[in-house]
Amino acid sequence: MPVTSPRARAPRSSADVLPPDWQPVLPRVFLESGKLKDSVLNELTHVLVLFPASLLAGGQLPQGLPGAVLLKQILGRQRKKPTALLRVGAGSGKMPQEALVPEATTLGGGLIRWLAVDPDASTFLRHQQLRQALSGLLAEQPARLDIVFHGSAGFVASAMPDAAYVAAVNRVSMPKTVAADKTTKAAGTAKSGKTGEIRLWVGARDQAFLSTSLAGVMATAEANTLTRALCVLPPNQLTPGSFRALIPGQIKGLGIRCDTYDVAQLKKMKAGAFLAVAQGSPEQDAAIVRLTYVPKVKPVKRDPKDKSATQALPYVALVGKGICFDTGGHNLKPARYMAGMHEDMAGAAIALSVIQAAARLQLPVRVDAWLALSRNDIGPGAYRQGDVVTALNGSTIEIVHTDAEGRMVLADTLTLAAAAKPDMVLDFATLTGSMTTALGNRMSGFFASQRHLRARLEEVGAAAGERLMPFVMPDDYDSALESQVADIKQCTLDGEADHILAARFLNCFVGDAAWLHLDLSAATCKGGLGAIGTDTTGFGAALTVQLLQSIAVKGLARSSPAF
């Protein structure tokens, strides 16, 4: 039986204890209902004015735009027309032309910028433009940032969540050091007390509606920030043991249950695929951690006339690869590709951050988060090429390459997750280099066992501003994984279509469960991506929160034929 307690802690040494300041604190965000007067505007230090691009259709600046006199002066000095504030997409053989984001100094010495927002543009593009517009303001780490909305109630309702999210996730700084004897000085940490403040000037709008929307935005921002903060921690600090030890503090007061399957218990369960990877680590602190959130809501009647039948809550299982460092094992990675392998636990970070968000928002969706925490070390006890191991579901696996460890720890973790009979299983993993080869780092690829799941994930990814590309996984690819000594090969040495072969391998461990597999090729992107300005993007957290919110409202569709 697993150790069941939200307070259960893994054994740990002084070397892997995280200091109290490792986790950034989001800025405080407020809605301002009053009208922004010029006298007040001139007293503000850092201001971004947002207005709909459609107001520039006549070729003139919008009437009543805050700071319009200053903006007109800037355009005149630069000999630009108001239409320069509009982005022009690629076409007729020309590269896209980015929108001008003018900047001026107010009479009070404050910094002000203007951005024309196109509500019809993709969420990704809106986020990217907002990040770029905010970058000059946030670079000064202002104690207060003011975002002013000029336009209709519909424009405010659509633009406010985007602006609040982008501002919040970029206002914090990731920890630059986690030395136990040194206080982190990153802006926004709890100890510094400088969490920052963001004020959203929304005017006389529906405050109740906007407040509800803002709560969802901040939960998503918190999920992305936690994911990124965990990913940037160095491997001598964030170990499987210290990851397990920080979980109680993250779930405290949220009604989330914690069950831990440590190495001793996994040996009794014969989880040979997971243990093959874990056995190389001298600390033996690896574990599969199950977090469970069951909302306290009344069951919904399927048929109001039927007094007995009730609609069960949607049930989603999240599975995250949590390799806290990946050497490649005996098939040792070259230095170039081992750099950054402390972020190979991004999938587990997403699973933890998303279940936390679901509980904070009290979503009417049951959620399990399974964290496969280990390291892939090299040493006398590490698994080798040619080994044959028996997975938790009884399948035997021929080890072909020890650097394909992610699919090994996921195999047994997916088996456990699917055995609980959720309506859907979604796993996250920085799994294959071939997905990065296929897509680069500007989007991530995914696989779906059923068509309706593919459409659903594409929809929420677009809404969240995290771009996805669906891939197919025809069963004839299984022939490449045929083994002469076991039920299945772990991978091939050719490397061809490894992202597809990895999906086919994992498919053997989910049974009949409706399943989505997200290969996180966009977990890191130099210069940032979409809403996020850091190289570590936290990709996957926002779209999964969006997915759970969608399921809470629309439920889960019936299964359609598998691919």
Nearest to 491 by CA among 431, 531, 437: 431
Tokens of 332: 């040792």
Distance CA 52, CA 109 (A): 26
Distance CA 454, CA 473 (A): 12
Identify whether the C-beta of residue 251 lies closer than 8 Å to the C-beta of residue 367.
no
Identify whether the C-beta of residue 274 lies closer than 8 Å to the C-beta of residue 265.
no
φ, ψ for residue 425, nearest 5 deg: -115, 130
Distance CA 467, CA 518 (A): 12
Q: 133-140 — which CB contacts under 8 Å span 24+ positions?
A: 133/48, 133/101, 134/48, 134/166, 134/167, 134/170, 135/170, 135/533, 136/103, 136/111, 137/46, 137/47, 137/48, 137/111, 137/113, 138/167, 138/170, 138/171, 140/46, 140/111
- 3-class secondary-structure state, position 410: helix
| CB proximity list for 430: less than 8 A, separation 6 or greater | 321, 343, 344, 346, 347, 406, 519, 520, 523
CB atoms within 10 A of CB 249: 12
Q: In Å, what is the CA distance from 196 to each residue of 24, 28, 143?
A: 11, 6, 5
| CB proximity list for 489: less than 8 A, separation 6 or greater | 397, 398, 400, 480, 481, 482, 483
For residue 233, give the amino acid letter: L
Distance CA 549, CA 161 (A): 14
Burial of 74 (0-12, 13-18, 19+ CB in 10 A): middle
HSE of 290, CA atoms in CB hemisphere, 13 A? 22
Measured at the CA of 494, the angle between CA 490 and CA 499, to 5 degrees, comes to 60
Distance CA 46, CA 69 (A): 17
Which residues are designated catalytic?
A: 333, 407
Distance CA 451, CA 457 (A): 10
